[in-house]
Amino acid sequence: MQIAIPSTNDAVAELTALYSTERTFTAAKYEEAVWDRLLPGDAESYRYHLAFEMAKVEGFKTGYVAVKRSGVIVCLVPYFFTDYSLDSTVQGPLKRGSTWLKNRAPGLFNKLFKLKLLCVGSAVTDSAKLGMAKDYTFDPEIIIALNSELDLVAEREGASIIAFKDVLESDATLLEPPLKQAGFSKIENMPVAHNLIAFKNFDEYLGTLSYSTRKDFRRKLRVKSQITIEEYNGTPPDLEEIYQLYLNCYERSELKFEKLTLEFFESIAALMPFNCRYVLYRAQGKLIGFNLLLHRDGVLLDKYIGLDYELCRQYNLYFLSWAHNIEMCIRDGFHTYQSGQAAYETKIRLGSKLEQTYIFFRHRNQLINPALKLIANTLAYANFDDAIKKQQAQPE
């Protein structure tokens, strides 16, 4: 599909800037060098998307749209289809109520809460990966061309909602004008937590925390001598045990979205041996926890954790893993520790700063859009997380 865009330059008003779009269902259509040009230094790039494709996660169908100018890709975005539950990010009584309805009357639940969604972004990245050519001045018409292609894809697949998921502030500033013009609304979504690492040692990091947090952290770390910590670049041993620990956390979480497969954990290690690190925690020879981390260009991303819930509290495993990750950053020269989404109260206590993300969305039926906006604002994640509400209430 090609879209002719009138030039904004009065001197060349008769000329047109021509953007073309194409879509594919595999990241492998484009060489890794293309991905690196559009997402330089990003660990959640080409191979990470391939790993998710290979995992064949139930309920998700992936694809990619490329926008070209004179045959050169200037924008590349992943997308996915899923049957989205409007209660995915709610917590507390409302979550318990929707779960009760799902268990007692699944047909009614699906009618009220389930929508076919075409979502720009990925189910497994911390934020939307919008690959934009850094040597090309951003042009809002790129987004207009992208949206036209997304409309065709949504119509073919029967999706009623188009959304851009977890868009960072920097990207949201660029995207908002053309998306607003196209009828999209915006709500805040789950922030991304990160710690800047400028410490010579772990004690110096502890010194940046409050006295009570520092004292509590040191107390929790007393059991460290009883734990064996192992690091593996690429494929670790005991992968099936690791996956079971992941399932333990998945089943306990109120915020369920994608349920990853064993193949995902295997594929990511095989495809990204130099950018993927598994950290295993053992007590008396038994595997009681793991951390899956990605790293590239000075950033360490904490992606997945799995725990043996019978033992993790005894050994303060969450805090042990956090401490080890900070120590790895100091040891290996990472300047940023990105711990992702959720568990904000604890992360803020441990020195994290939060970077806001947004969802842009619209219903393909314009008459339903106002109602969808009202529902989305009511069910927005920030309404249910006390740590986020407390932070928003603080004066700047």
The model's confidence at residue 366, banded by pLDDT at 50, 70 and 90, is: confident
Separation between Cα atoms, residue 279 and residue 290, nearest integer Å: 6
Domain 2-191+357-393 - what CATH class?
alpha beta
CB 39 within 8 A of CB 275: no
Q: How many residues in total does the chain contain?
A: 396
Same fold, 2-191+357-393 and 193-354: yes
CB 209 within 8 A of CB 217: yes
What does the block give as tokens for 25? Answer: 């269902």
Angle, nearest 10°, between helix axes 211-220 and 317-332?
100
Give the pLDDT mean for 314-320. Answer: 95
Instruction: Using the predicted structure, report yes or no on whether residue 105 has a pLDDT greater than 70.
Output: no
Taking all residues of the chain, what is their mean pLDDT, rounded to a whole number?
A: 87
In DSSP terms, 5 is beta-bridged to: 17
Question: What pLDDT, in 10s, does the model give residues 10-26?
Answer: 433 333 458 999 999 99
Separation between Cα atoms, residue 200 and residue 42, nearest integer Å: 25
Separation between Cα atoms, residue 395 and residue 381, nearest integer Å: 21
pLDDT at 294 (0 to 100): 98
Select from 45, 322, 49, 290 the least CA-distant residue to 194. Answer: 322
What does the block give as tokens for 51? Answer: 């790993």
Select from 124, 174, 168 the least CA-distant residue to 146. Answer: 174
Give the pLDDT mean for 313-338. Answer: 97
CB 94 within 8 A of CB 86: no
Question: What pLDDT, in 10s, does the model give residues 189-208?
Answer: 999 999 999 999 999 999 99
% of the chain residues with pLDDT over 90: 73
Secondary structure (DSSP) of 238-286: -HHHHHHHHHHHHHH-S-------HHHHHHHHHH-TTTEEEEEEEETTE
What end-to-end distance do the CA atoms of the chain give, in Å?
A: 46
Separation between Cα atoms, residue 54 and residue 48, nearest integer Å: 10
CA distances to 99, 265, 296, 302, 331 from 299, in Å: 37, 20, 6, 10, 13
pLDDT at 4 (0 to 100): 42
Angle, nearest 10°, between helix axes 106-113 and 93-104?
130
User: What pTM was estimated for this model as a whole?
Assistant: 0.86
What stretches of 316-378 adopt beta strand conformation (E)? 336-340, 353-355, 357-363
Write the CATH number of the domain with boundaries 193-354.
3.40.630.30
Instruction: Using the predicted structure, report yes or no on whether residue 42 has a pLDDT greater than 90.
Output: yes
CB 357 within 8 A of CB 167: yes
Domain ranges of the chain: 2-191+357-393, 193-354
